[in-house]
Amino acid sequence: MSTTTSDTPTTSGTGTPRRPEDASTAGPSTPGAVQPPAGRRLATGLRSRLPSAAGWRGTASTLALALPVPVLGILLWHVGVQQGWTLPFGIQMAFLPTPAAVLTRMIDISVGGQIDDAFSGTLIEHLTASTGRVLTGFGIAAATAIPLGVLMGRFTVVFRLLDPVINLVRPIPVTAWAPLALLIIGFGDRSTIFLVFLAAFFPILLNTIAGVRRVPVRLLEAAAMLGTKQAQVLYKVVLPSAMHSIVGGLRIALGLAWVILVVGETVGISTGLGSMITQARDMSKTDLIVAGMVVIGLAGFLADRLLVLLVKVATRGRPTLS
């Protein structure tokens, strides 16, 4: 039997796991003889983690392809504003701020010292308020929708009891809830959090139900014949198997949460990115509106990346979970 490390399943340079040849002729192996020496294993581990020369070339070519379009876009934006172009939909580019003005405004709201108005250096305050609302609403949605989805996916009675109601409520756009939420909850944090919760709830719920219902019967049978107690099947098999789908739901929900945030912060709230944009509109500060839009986009993007990273760490990178 071979004692080299060449046929141990490590990840190759491209990152795809190699499928080792079936060692079907291998008999009972001698203990110790088949384990690669620790030094070798460490070396291969390091090598697979550090980007190789080919890896750097890959990054460079990715950048070379990713950059031209945004650069061209910003260039056209600048020229369009200066020339006062009119675009389809009747977009008057003359009313837009230039990219440079937006950049100045972003620096000003971040650290101040550029424009010196009521918004200078207030970004962190707005961002904190908005992030808090998103996380609270999203957190409550996850904490309620995942257990409910597991119950509905696992028990037909619960599903048949709740599915009709959910299908009636779900098509109502969250934006349509906004006026009612203001009246029955009142101005302030709580109605915004409620709207975020509503927006995040259904994608998580539906994806959890779908994931739980798709758990392969074979895995449930395997668990049963290995002596898994009924009460443990849920977190030993059902949850891990549905994990991928649940995480998909969480990501969609988190994206929607940032969308709804702006709607929820338009009325009766003085802090938050949505409120900042609303005030900017009232004062016709288009550079501030665009700066706010960029910040919200970046925040949503970062939140998604963080969520994915969190799941990866929590599941220790196990396949089919993260």
Partner 1 sequence: MPRIGNDRAPQPATIRAVDLGKRYGSPGAGGVQAMAGVDLDVAAGEFVTVVGASGCGKSTLLRIIAGFEPATDGTITVADEQITGPGPDRGVVFQDYGLFPWLTVSENIAYGPRQKRYPSAVVGEKTTRVLEAVGLTRFARSYPGQLSGGMQQRVAIARVLANDPAVMLMDEPFGALDALTRSAMQAELSRIHRETGTTVLFVTHSIEEAVVLADRVVVMAGGASHGVPGHIREIVPVPLARERDATSPEFNELKRHIAALVHEGVEAAA
Provide the binding-site residues for partner 1, judged by CB under 8 A. Answer: 7-9, 17-29, 31, 34-35, 216, 218-219, 221-222, 224-229, 232, 237, 240-241, 243, 315, 318-321
**Pick 154 or 236: Cβ nearer partner 1:** 236
Complex with partner 1: residue 144 or 322, whichever CB lies closer = 322
Calpha distance 140→135 (Å, rounded) = 8
* Minimum distance of partner 1 from residue 11's CB (angstroms): 9
Strand partners, 87: 91
Distance from chain centroid for Cα 5: 38
Classify the phi-psi angles of 272: left when phi > 0, otherwise alpha if psi is within -120 to 50, otherwise beta.
left
CB 137 within 8 A of CB 197: yes
121/240 with CB nearer partner 1: 240
Q: Nearest distance from residue 313's CB to partner 1, in Å?
A: 15
Cβ closest to partner 1, residue 98 vs residue 208: 208
Cβ proximity to partner 1, 182 vs 219, nearer residue: 219
What is the three-class DSSP state of 91?
strand
CA 178 vs. chain centroid, Å, equals 24
> Which of 84/216 has CB closer to partner 1?
216
Q: Distance between CA 104 and CA 112 in Å, rounded?
A: 10
Q: Give min distance, CB of 320 to partner 1, in A.
A: 5
Contact (CB, 8 A) for 159 and 166: no
CB of 7 to partner 1, least distance (A): 8
Cβ-based nearer residue to partner 1, 283 or 313: 313
- CB neighbours of 207 closer than 8 A, spacing ≥ 6? 149, 245, 246, 248, 249, 250, 252
**Number of other residues whose CB lies within 10 A of the CB of residue 318:** 11
In the complex, minimum distance from the CB of residue 243 to partner 1, in angstroms, rounded to a whole number: 8
- List Cα–Cα distances, 206 to 142, 220, 260, in angstroms: 12, 21, 19
Q: How far is the CB of 304 from partner 1 (least distance, A)?
A: 22
Task: Write down the least CB distance from residue 35 to partner 1, Å.
Answer: 7
What is the nearest approach in angstroms of partner 1 to the Cβ of residue 206? 23
- Which three-class secondary structure state does DSSP give residue 131? helix
CA atoms of 227 and 37, how far apart (whole Å): 36
- Cα-only R_g, the chain: 26
Residue number with CB closer to partner 1 (60 or 224) = 224
CB-based contact 149:207 (threshold 8 Å) = yes
Please answer whether residues 111 and 171 qualify as being in contact, where contact means their C-beta atoms are separated by less than 8 angstroms. no
